Amino acid sequence: MAIDSEVLVVGGGIAGITAAIAAAREGADTRLVSHKASTLRQASGLIDALGYLPATEPAKPLREGPPTAGRNLDPDEWPDPEGPLADPFEAIDRLPEDHPYRLVGADALREGLDLFDDLVGDAYLGGHTDRNALVPTFGGSVKPTARYPASAAAGIASDDRPALIVGFRSLTEYDARTFADRLAAAGVPFDVAGAEVEFAEAFRADAKITRLAKALDRDEPIDGTPAREALAKAVGPHLHDVVDGEGGVDRVERVGFPAFLGDDHPAEVRAELADRLGADVFEIPMGPPSLPGLRLEDLLYDALDDAGVRFETGTPAVGYEVDADGGGGSGGDGDGDRIDHLVMDRKGSEVPYGAEAVVLATGGLVGKGLDSDRDGVREPVLDLHVPQPADRYEWFVDDAFGEQPYARFGVRPDERLRPLDESGEVAYGNVRVAGAVVGGADVAREKSASGVSLATGLVAGREAAREVRQ
Amino acid sequence: MTRHMENDDEAEGTDEPHGGCGCGGTDGTPQPTVPEIGRDERPAIFVPDDGDGAGAAGSDSAGSSAADGPAEPDATDAPRPATDGGVESATGGSDSTELDPDAYDPIDVFPEGDLDLRDGADSCYKCTSCDTSCPVAEVDDEFPGPKFQGPEQWRLKRKEDHDIDESITSCSNCMRCDDACPSSVPLSQMHNEARGQFVEEQMEKLSVEYVRNRILANYRTSARLASVVPRLSSFAMNFGPARWAMDKLLGIPKERDFPEFATTTFREWWRDRGGAQVENPDKRVAYFHGCYSNYNTPEVGKAMVRVYEHFGYEVLVPPQKCSGTPMFANGMLKDARRHAETNVENLIEAIGDGADVIASCTSCSMSLRQEYPELFDIHGIEDVSDHTFEALEYLRIHEDLDGALADARPEDDRSFAYHAPCHARNQGLARQAVETFRDVDGVELEDVGDSCSGISGTYGWKSEKYEKSMQIGEEMFEHMEDADGEVGMTECPTCAMQMEHGTGYEIEHPLQLLEETVVA
């Protein structure tokens, strides 16, 4: 006896969730399993589609021979990427031919974003236009992104109102004044100043970000003053810190905070702070620990529940069994073998999970959907083919910001997202791949990770549901 | 530990073909792979086991190397496993003749005894996913979070003379960090080891705190005594002046009500009914009822028996002691090991008779499955781990529950506010009750969200933690009150106490609802 469902999605990130909801909306009985709690909590919470077109050819041809030969004499040079792109959709045709966007098409990205908008409702903005928004991020740079949390809305860089950036001495990974300087250096069209205020000092030095968020959620008294009031009081004296080009000083109209303004009640926290400060309040998306990521995780898992998807975390896929009937029998299209069930590890006990179609959305090298060692790069769940140069020296180029071949490693699928084997044939007819496990995109340089997950997740989920109906 | 080390799996010869399912035996008969006697039984790193410690381990390992033959020199000849996985051969990757392999002895670089956590510490890339999942860090500034308590403190400890930081006692052992870690760092194992060392070496044994923790950790002992005169105990333990004194003298918060003791324990009921009513050598389970189902809520145990017998299982009820959960949480590893020895001995015997082990308390199943093999090396402990399941989980795997529930409905419509215990979450079981009853007519089961109840076993039973415990629980209380159901549901006895304490609701176990719908 196995735990059965029609569609089994492996992976709890954006690609897996999108695939599961897409399949469920097509009427398939769908289950999502993930090895660990979702790593969305490590993500910024921004939904990027395509921000840059990185060069795929060096400025001058790479020298012959292994890259390490003459490294210091003859470094390779790569042109700056094209961007930031105003419109992610129009640039898709200029991506490499085997890019996932080229496989599934610009419409898949559009529909993936539509689905996302539908799932998160008014918690996210940016869906009113095809164009990218420019959102200041944690490092003081400005990032082109397709959707951003409502909490970041007042901070977007195309807004010309003067802004104050607030920081805290005890948050060592973040310096408000440096941040403001970097924004100014990036040429933003508004005046900006950074100020370090006394608030987090009321907590012990190694209090966690979640502690600050919880205190604001609950409006806990900080030395007798409610937390939100205490924070507003600390910021108050700095509202005139911004100096404009002529040396004049204006009261700022918006104030940016590191993203810890509440976990369960962020809108309420922002509204009260805005009220007390007489200025709009926004959050600056951060690296981990990321409250916007945690909130997105909550939103999307609620959406999974609403869509009727069954889901569980803590169960890694550790094996599989192919259909005993042999390849291609029941699918009718004669493509490859068929997976009968996956084997999940339940704290040491192995339990079969049967499915008619499987979506593999296990992530890339960071998410451990791809595994690597000195011998090569592998896809560990179904042992799918991952094309790669045999010589490890061809996995990378010298310039850290160059076209790194390893960044595009991954499973190569056909346009229906069925994984291909070494000879270019469909490996498993009832498997679809989605998200970062799919090769061909350099999502870090392109700023395309979420978009690729949404587009491929949507197609993979629909395809899986179609597989079930056949 | 073994979960994360592929080498271990291979060494134990359990490398089944890809996809092989070890859950029920592939050829019909269950085959517990009981290891050969003489397997190396390592003592825990921080708490050497008196008496049966070093001496026994030494002779055992010598015996096993003789029995296994010389084919695996790296596994049996070395006095200890290599500390950093794979570099014990100094010639590996180098063909330089200048390097003298004998000059390298990585085993001695970090001499930390036999239970080595370096592999886990090295896997941490400081993403802080553990910290964001920690319910204590959300409310307690003094608690520096699981990342510090685990890999960071472990690294600090590599230098001499560093005490374990006292804040380890604020970890509630909810184990959420384990499930959050994308890199499979054995966080809770590190916490358990550190806490064990702190209690063993740094805690004043005559302190009120130690005495109180020892009492709380050894709930089974108190419960056994109290059950002799259950009515009197239930009265006396909640008697106002007595509770005031307990708060003042022992640090047990007077706000909490002690659970009532059943007038007939589960084991008494089992004996009186004449044991199993179904005999079936092909479908056999050994019930690990734990302390709470025995002394406080025998109705859960009875439901387990009736449901399983309904599905044709022969239920065994082996002798057993505490699973160890409250002992781990209080760093009382010696107590836990003593109990574990009894449990493993009896459960492995049942497994030998073809049974799988079923627990109705998710902390008990968590302990048998994960903490046992992580913390102790007792003969057969891995097999107990591999053969243990939660009660509903097992039925969902082996029986057509959806089919059985398709036409079932309770006598009266029932509506519940369901809370998934952290320890269920960590076994991948957070949603199983909701899923099981989702389509059952006349049953509404609303998941009140993924927050922690805040009691975490004995954590909320300490006066100095009481307030934090209630702050953590606040979100769950609110969501319970928002839910339609006026009855709570959970698998964990202490979560149930907290749910009742915070909302006044009665709390049931999913097995009771299953009994009501399927058996009745």
Q: Is residue B460 assigned to a domain?
A: yes
Domain boundary (B335, B357, B392) is at B392
CB < 8 Å from A in window 475-494 of B: 475
pLDDT in tens, B67-117: 343 444 443 344 434 333 333 333 333 344 444 545 444 444 444 444 567
Residue A57: predicted pLDDT: 86
DSSP, residue by residue, A405-449? GGGG-SB-B-TT-PBB-TTSSBSBTTEEE-GGGB-S--HHHHT-H
Q: Cβ distance A291 to A42 under 8 Å? A: no
Domain of residue B410, residue span: 401-519
pLDDT over threshold 70, residue B151: yes
What distance in Å separates residue A309's CA from the closest CA in chain B?
10
Reply yes or no on whether the pLDDT at B10 is more than 80. no
Tracing tokens 């890999």 back to the chain, one arrives at B151
The arithmetic mean of pLDDT across residues B242-264, rounded, is: 88
Higher-confidence residue: A246 or A5?
A5
A233 touches chain B (CB under 8 A): no
CATH of the domain at B133: 1.10.1060.10
Q: What percent of chain A has pLDDT over 70?
A: 94
User: So what's the pLDDT on residue B240?
Assistant: 84
CATH number for the domain spanning B497: value is 3.40.50.10700
Identify the pLDDT of residue B33: 43
Average confidence (pLDDT) over B180-205 = 91
Percent with pLDDT over 70 in chain B = 77
CA–CA separation, A169 and A175 (whole Å)? 8
Is B20 part of a structural domain of the chain?
no
When pLDDT is averaged across residues B468-478 and rounded to a whole number, the result is 94
Q: Are B50 and B159 members of one domain?
A: yes
Asked if B133 has any chain A CB less than 8 Å from its own CB, the reply is yes
Query: Chain A contacts of B22, Cβ < 8 Å?
Result: 349-350
Q: What percent of chain A has a predicted confidence (pLDDT) above 90? A: 72
- Touching check for B127 and chain A: CB below 8 Å? yes
Q: pLDDT digit string (tens) for A43-67? A: 899 999 999 999 988 887 776 666 5
Categorize the per-residue pLDDT at A399 as very low, low, confident or very high, splitting at 50, 70 and 90. confident
Average pLDDT over residues B419-436: 94
Cβ-count burial B147-174 (b if 16+ within 10 Å, e if not): bbbbbbbbeebeeeeeebbebbbbbbbb
Same domain, B46 and B183: yes
On whether both B457 and B326 belong to a single domain, the answer is: no
Confidence at residue A69, expressed as pLDDT on a 0 to 100 scale: 53
Query: In terms of C-beta distances under 8 Å and separation of at least 24 residues, what long-range contacts does B62-65 make, across chains too?
Result: B63/B38, B64/B36, B64/B38, B64/B39, B64/B40
Model confidence at B66, pLDDT cuts 50, 70, 90, reads very low
Q: Within a domain: residue A170? A: yes
| pLDDT at residue A401, rounded to an integer | 83
Q: Is the pLDDT of residue B19 over 60?
A: no
Please tell me the least confidently modeled range out of A325-329, A399-403, B89-93: B89-93
Same domain for B169 and B57? yes
pLDDT(A35) > 60: yes
Cβ neighbours of B139 in A, within 8 Å: 211, 214
Residue B426: list chain A partners with CB under 8 A. Answer: 314
pLDDT of residue B100: 53
pLDDT of residue B503: 95
Q: For the residues B404-433, what does the mean pLDDT come to?
A: 94
pLDDT at residue B117 in the model: 72
Judge if B257 and B273 occupy the same domain.
no
Which residues of chain B have a CB within 8 Å of the CB of A207?
Answer: 137, 141
* Average per-residue pLDDT for chain B: 81
Of A101-105, A450-454, B80-84, B257-261, which range is least confident?
A: B80-84
Per the structure, the count of domains in chain B is 4
A351 interface with B at CB cutoff 8 Å: yes
Average pLDDT (A261-279) is 96
Q: Burial, A122: exposed, middle or buried (Cβ in 10 Å; 0-12, 13-18, 19+)?
A: exposed
- Please tell me if residue B181 touches chain A, with a CB cutoff of 8 Å: yes
Looking at residues A344-364, what average pLDDT do you find? 94
pLDDT digits (tens, 9 = 90+) for B363-411: 999 999 999 999 998 999 999 999 999 999 999 999 999 999 998 989 9
Q: Per the domain annotation, does B213 fall within a domain?
A: no
Q: How many CB pairs under 8 A join A and B?
A: 138
Q: What gap in Å lies between CA B189 and CA A327, rounded to an integer?
A: 44
* Confidence tier at A296 by pLDDT (50, 70, 90): very high
- Distance between first and last Cα of chain A: 24
Higher-scoring residue by pLDDT: B94, B510 = B510
- Cα–Cα distance, B126 to B290 (Å, whole number): 37
| CB-based contact, B232 to chain A, within 8 Å | no
Average pLDDT value for residue range B31-39: 38
Does residue A284 fall inside a structural domain? Answer: yes
Which chain A residues touch B388 with a CB distance below 8 Å? 347, 349
Question: Are the beta carbons of A348 and B385 separated by less than 8 Å?
Answer: yes
Q: Which residues 367-406 of chain B have a CB within 8 Å of chain A?
A: 369-370, 373, 382, 385-389, 393, 396-400
User: To probe the interface with A, which of B138, B370, B394 has the most A CB atoms within 10 Å?
Assistant: B138
Q: Are B513 and B437 in contact (CB under 8 A)?
A: yes
Q: Which whole number is the average pLDDT over A61-82?
A: 70
Residue range of the domain that includes A290: 152-294
Put simply, the answer to whether A351 touches B23 (Cβ < 8 Å) is yes
Residue A255: predicted pLDDT: 97
Q: Is B504 on the interface with A (CB under 8 A)?
A: no
For B179, which of A305, A314, A346 is closest by C-beta distance?
A314
User: A312, B386: Cβ pair inside 8 Å?
Assistant: no
Interface check for A319 against chain B (CB to CB < 8 A): the answer is: yes
Q: Is the pLDDT of residue B413 over 70?
A: yes
Do residues B340 and B372 touch, judged by C-beta distance below 8 A? yes
In chain A, the residue whose alpha carbon lies closest to the alpha carbon of B368 is: A347
Chain B touched by A211 (CB under 8 Å): yes
Does residue B342 sit in the same domain as residue B256?
Answer: no
Across the interface, whether the CB atoms of A343 and B20 are under 8 A apart is answered yes
For residue A197, the SS3 value is strand
What confidence score (pLDDT) does residue B225 get?
A: 87
Predicted local distance difference test score (pLDDT) of residue B102: 54
Asked if A348 lies within 8 A of B373 by C-beta distance, the reply is: yes
> Could you say which of B374, B392, B410 is where a domain stops?
B392
Report CB contact under 8 Å: B182, A347: no
| Phi, psi for B293 (deg, rounded to 5) | -65, -25
Cross-chain Cβ contact A39/B23 below 8 Å:
no
B residues 22-81 closer than 8 Å to A (CB):
22-23
The one-letter amino acid code at A449 reads A
Q: How confident is the model at residue B23 (pLDDT cuts 50, 70, 90)?
A: very low
Do B194 and B270 lie in one domain? The reply is no
- What domain count does chain A have? 1
Overall average pLDDT of the A274-302 stretch: 94
| Mean local confidence (pLDDT), B258-264 | 90
pLDDT at residue B208 is higher than 50:
yes
Q: CA-to-CA distance for B68 and B71, rounded, in angstroms?
A: 8
Give the distance, in angstroms, between the CA of residue B376 and the centroid of all CA atoms in the same chain.
Answer: 13
Answer yes or no: do B303 and B446 share one domain: no
Q: Is residue A302 part of a domain?
A: no
B30/A211 Cα distance (integer angstroms): 49
- Regarding whether B177 and B59 lie in a shared domain, the answer is yes
For residue A352, the chain B residues in CB contact (below 8 A) are 21, 23
Residue of B nearest to A204 (CA): B141
Render pLDDT for B155-176 as a digit per residue (tens, 0 to 9).
887 776 678 899 999 999 999 9
Are residues B386 and B473 both part of a single domain? no
B257 and B337 co-located in one domain: no
Q: Is A194 contained in some domain?
A: yes
pLDDT tens-place string over residues A200-236: 778 887 788 899 999 999 999 988 999 999 999 999 9
Q: Which helix (H) or strand (E) holds B182?
A: none
pLDDT of residue B140: 92
Assign A19 to helix, strand or coil: helix
If asked whether residues B44 and B184 sit together in one domain, one would say yes
B473–chain A nearest CA distance, Å: 13
CA distance A204 to B146: 16
Say whether B21 and A343 touch across the interface (CB within 8 A): yes
Residues 413-452 of B with CB under 8 A from A: 425-432, 435, 447, 450
Asked whether residue A160 is domain-assigned, the answer is yes
Q: Find which of A349, A362, A374, A428 to mutate to test the B interface (most B CBs within 10 Å of its CB).
A: A349
- Amino acid identity of residue B520, one-letter, is A
- Residue B280 in contact with partner chain A when CB distance is under 8 A: no
Residue that finishes a domain, picked among B392, B420, B454: B392
| A352 assigned to some structural domain | no
Distance between CA atoms of residues B254 and A124, nearest Å: 46
CATH code of the domain covering residue B318: 3.40.50
* Whole-number pLDDT of residue B245: 86
Which residues of chain B does A210 touch, with a Cβ-Cβ cutoff of 8 Å? 131-132, 134, 137-138
Is the Cβ of A378 closer than 8 Å to some Cβ of chain B? no
